[in-house]
Structure formats: C-alpha cells, structure tokens
C-alpha cells in the first residue's frame, strides 16, 4: 500500500515538474512557500474577522415589560419593608411538616447524587422549628429598602447612604445572580458605606433585585435578557438621580453589568466583578489554543483554575444540569419547586453548595458548611415568599439572544477590576478577558472563597471592591488629564 502511494506521489511530482519546466526539488520549495503564505493569510483574515467589533444593535430604552400594553406610570420611589406574614409562615410550615418521607441516599453516598436528604432533613427541621421568620425580616429591614416602577415592573432595591456625610461619595450599583437577591450583600453593604483609612471616598450603595428575583416583579413578556435588564437598571439609577455611577456584580448580575458597560460606556465609570467573562468568540479560540501552552498564557500558580480543559468540561457536565433545564424548560421544573418548599430548598441549596466548593460533593453538606444556615434559609424563604423561582430561573432561557451575542462581541473601555475567588464557577485568564474588558485595571486572586462571596467572605469582598475602586479612580484621573 505504502509503495503504491509513494510511486503515485513521485509520478505526480515528475509530471508537474516537467509541466512547469523546473526540477522537482524547486517545485516542492515553491509549493511549500505558497501553502505557508496561504495559511498565514487565512489565519490573519480569520483573526481579524474574529477581532472586529460589530455595530451596537438598536435598543428600545423604554421597552415595556408590564402586563398588557404600555400605560402611563407613577414614577415615585416608595419606602418598602419586607414582611413574612403569618398566613405565609403557617402554610409553609404545614407543607414542611406534612411532606412525604425523603428517599435516603445510596449506601456510602454523600452529595454526589445531589442534595443529601439526611442533611436536608436537618435543614428543614431547623426551618420549621428554629428559623425566626419575623426576626430575620427585621434584620433584612435594617437596610433601607424601596420600590419604584420602571418600564412596567416594580423594582426593589436597597439604598444606603454613607455613614459620614461630606466625603467624596461614589454611587455603586450592586447586582446579584441566581438564585440570590440583594440579600446576598446584606453584610457587604454596610462595609461599603463606612469610610476607611487610606481612601478618600466612600460608597452610596444601591443593591437592586433583578426583575423576577427577590422582591422585584417578574415580567410576563418574553425577551427580558440581561441586556434589557441592564436598560431597566440604568433607568433606575437615572430615576434616583445618578447619571454616572459604578457597578459591582457577580453571576447573572455580571452578565447584566457587562451589557451595561458596553451599551452605556459614558454613564458607567467603573466596574468591579467577581464573575467577569469575555463571551467574544475570539476569546474562546484563545481558551482552546491556550490549552496547548497553559503556563505561557497565564500565571502558572492559577493554571488549575482553567486548565486542563478536560477537567473543566468534566466539571461542567457534572454540575450544570440545572442550567440546561432552566435554559430550555424552566416552567416544568418550576411547578415542583413552586409547590414544595422541601424541593425548593434542596434544589437551590445543592447548587449554592457546589458553587461554594465544588470539591466537597463527598460530604453531606456538599459545600454548604462554609455558609451560615440562616443566610441560606433567608434565600430560600425569599424565593418561597415571593414565588419567584420560575421567574428567576427563566433568565437562563431568556439570557442569550441574537442581540446579546452581538453586544457580547463588542469590547468596552470602561475600567474594570476583577477578583477571582478560589472556587468561582468560571475563570478566564487575563489574556482573554482583555478582549472584552480593554481596560482591565486591577486583578486579584484569592486562595479561598467561592461563587457567593458576599455570603461567605463579605469583609474580603468589600476590601477588594475598595482596592479595585482605587485603581479605577486612578485610571479615570489619568484619562481626564490626557484629554
Ligand atoms: C402574605 O404574604 C403572601 C406572600 O407574600 C402574600 O401572597 C399574601 O397576600 C399575604 N397575605 C396577607 C394576609 O397579607
């Protein structure tokens, strides 16, 4: 076989060399040169194609998300208090007490098959017997809360002014993800509004619940992606008198914030994120190419947060079933979760555990031990009380559209500070992040902490927001001098 191929090859080479009237060696050299040149041109063309930034699509900044057709709205900002009322509590407790027996885990299994039901049972008993609904609501109400109607939806937010007046005050919009609400930042907000030494600024914090999450109303209209949520929140900030502001965000909040800094680069002065991702196709090509030389494309100390890609893919296949369900059939899973508080608790707490420490599925708590039980039950109680598990889960189905993919591929100049906690769900090296976040001014890594840093390490998160902001302010100062 081999002999046949070789003789065929020699024959073709001889024919060609006599046709072009040059020696076969020369022919090989010319052919090779041409092939290399073609590959180089094609690669260059492909990379330029991937690097080019598309035009911003047309966006309706007043799009109506309320029921029925658009109507004139009352734009007042109303104070709001969280209440867990007796009817809700009695109904919830009766459901928890009257639940059917849970199926025991397989022998020797901890959380590998999902929420450990022996552990869950303890959590549910605590919820019924020890969790003090009224006291927890009072605690949440320690932070001043408001609601206002934007584009047809009632939007809820915490607004906390600095504890000391007269200092340089930076308005900071703080955004959570799924299955959270502004509750995630309950312990962070007061740290941000407290002046600290070495910083001549302090924050005024606006921590909003995304529409369909927490105490913000969900929409009945399809199409409310992170891009359009970003428009709603920008309109919220304008309503509050902030034409320019800063953002801190994680998880879906980061998706929203990333759209905001792309669409409103002159209104957002800086962005701090625990979960920044470049979704530019070019970055994914780099992610793949980087897998051949990981130590070359990122600090070797943190290589295991990204590579080998096979580990990352395995982890994703293992832990993202919920993402596929919610991206495709959120309403079906939602029926069970809306009807059973035990089911709701199991579903969201399992996910919170894994995202806090993915290496602990071999324990009965599955990663939850790093968080306070009361905080977790606040999160589940809020989801239950507001019946928002379906409206919040739908964001996975609504999140990616043709429009968002275009905006994802447009880089932004807004100065960005990124923090990477040890067990953050997804991490990209700087090499890729800069494709989207052109002015990456601060980048920190921690050997601890997970996806819900606001719950787990509130102090360290607040510290990093202050540090990142110093770099952002420095960048903006230099930029204004250059003008
Ligand atoms: C109690 O709270 C639930 C959930 O927020 C609400 O649907 C219900 O209308 C409230 N009931 C009363 C009597 O206030």
Are 17 and 24 in contact, with CB atoms under 8 Å apart? Answer: yes
The residue-averaged pLDDT of 62-69 equals: 97
- Ligand 1 mean position, distance from CA 85 (Å): 6
For residue 86, report the distance from its CA to the centre of ligand 1, in Å.
8
451 catalytically annotated: yes
Count of residues making up the chain = 483
Q: Compute, in angstroms, the gap from residue 349 CA to the centroid of ligand 1.
A: 24
User: What confidence category does residue 476 fall into, taking pLDDT thresholds of 50, 70 and 90?
Assistant: very high
pLDDT category, 51, cuts 50, 70, 90? confident
Domain segments of the chain as ranges: 2-51, 77-280+320-482
* CA–CA distances in Å: residue 452 to residues 115, 368, 416, 448: 18, 11, 20, 12
pLDDT in tens, 375-428: 999 999 999 999 999 999 999 999 999 999 999 999 999 999 999 999 999 999
Residue 72 buriedness (CB in 10 A; 0-12 / 13-18 / 19+): exposed
Among the options 209, 251, 375, 435, which is catalytic? 251
Predicted confidence (pLDDT) per residue in 249-282, tens digit: 999 999 999 999 999 999 999 999 999 999 999 9
Q: Residue 395, Cβ neighbours under 10 Å: how many?
A: 25
- Which residue among 87, 181, 387, 388 has the greatest number of ligand 1 atoms within 8 angstroms of its CB, and so is best to mutate? 87
Query: Of the residues 88, 95, 384, which should be mutated to test ligand 1's pocket, given the most ligand atoms within 8 Å of the CB?
Result: 88
Tell me what pLDDT residue 280 has. Answer: 95
Which pLDDT score, from 0 to 100, does residue 14 have?
A: 75
Catalytic annotation present for 44: no
- Residue 360 alpha carbon to ligand 1 centre in Å: 38
Active site residue 347: no
Which atom of ligand 1 is found nearest the CA of 86? 1
Helix residue ranges, H only, 176-245 = 189-192, 226-239
CA 101 – ligand 1 centroid, Å: 28
For position 31, what pLDDT does the model report? 85
Q: 77-280+320-482: which CATH architecture?
A: 3-Layer(aba) Sandwich (3.40)
Q: Quote the tokens at residue 269.
A: 């002065």
Which protein residue's CA is at the shortest distance from atom 5 of ligand 1? 385
326: its two tokens = 């919610």
Residues having CB closer than 6 A to ligand 1 are 85, 87-88, 385
């Amino acid at each position: 076989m081999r002999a046949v191929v070789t003789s065929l090859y020699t024959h073709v080479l001889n024919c060609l060399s006599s046709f072009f009237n040059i020696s076969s060696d020369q022919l090989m050299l010319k052919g090779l040169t041409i092939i290399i040149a073609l590959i180089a041109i094609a690669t260059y063309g492909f990379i330029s194609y991937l690097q080019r930034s598309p035009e911003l699509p047309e966006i309706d900044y007043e799009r109506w998300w309320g029921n029925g057709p658009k109507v004139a709205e009352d734009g007042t900002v109303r104070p709001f208090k969280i209440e867990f009322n007796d009817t809700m509590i009695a109904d919830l407790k009766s459901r928890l007490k009257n639940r059917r027996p849970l199926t025991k885990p397989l022998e020797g299994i901890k959380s590998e098959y999902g929420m450990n039901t022996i552990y869950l049972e303890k959590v549910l008993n605590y919820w019924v017997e020890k969790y003090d609904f009224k006291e927890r609501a009072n605690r949440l109400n320690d932070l001043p809360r408001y609601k206002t109607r934007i584009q047809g939806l009632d939007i809820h937010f915490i607004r906390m002014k600095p504890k000391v007046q007269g200092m340089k005050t930076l308005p900071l919009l703080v955004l959570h993800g799924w299955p959270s609400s502004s509750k995630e930042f309950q312990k962070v907000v007061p740290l941000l509004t407290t002046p600290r030494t070495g910083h001549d600024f302090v924050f005024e914090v606006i921590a909003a619940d995304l529409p369909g999450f927490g105490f913000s109303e969900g929409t009945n209209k399809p199409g409310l992606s992170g891009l359009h949520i970003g428009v709603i929140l920008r309109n919220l900030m304008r309503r509050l008198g902030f034409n320019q502001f800063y953002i801190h965000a994680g998880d879906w909040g980061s998706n929203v914030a990333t759209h905001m800094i792309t669409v409103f680069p002159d209104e957002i002065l800086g962005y701090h994120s625990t979960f920044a991702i470049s979704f530019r196709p070019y970055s994914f090509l780099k992610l793949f190419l980087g897998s051949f030389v990981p130590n070359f494309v990122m600090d070797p100390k943190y290589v295991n947060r990204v590579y080998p890609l096979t580990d990352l893919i395995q982890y994703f296949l293992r832990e993202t079933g919920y993402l596929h369900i919610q991206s495709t059939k959120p309403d079906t899973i939602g029926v069970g979760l809306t009807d059973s508080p035990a089911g709701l608790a199991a579903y969201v707490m399992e996910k919170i555990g894994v995202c806090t420490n993915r290496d602990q599925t071999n324990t009965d708590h599955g990663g939850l031990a790093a968080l306070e039980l009361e905080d977790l039950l606040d999160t589940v109680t809020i989801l239950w009380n507001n019946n928002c598990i379906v409206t919040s889960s739908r964001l996975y189905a609504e999140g990616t559209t043709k429009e968002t993919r275009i905006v994802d591929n447009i880089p932004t100049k807004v100065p960005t500070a990124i923090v990477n906690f040890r067990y953050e769900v997804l991490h990209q090296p700087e090499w890729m992040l800069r494709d989207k976040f052109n002015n990456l001014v601060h980048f920190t890594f921690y050997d601890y902490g997970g996806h819900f840093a606001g719950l787990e390490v509130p102090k360290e998160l607040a510290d990093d927001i202050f540090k990142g902001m110093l770099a952002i302010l420095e960048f903006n100062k230099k930029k204004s001098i250059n003008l």
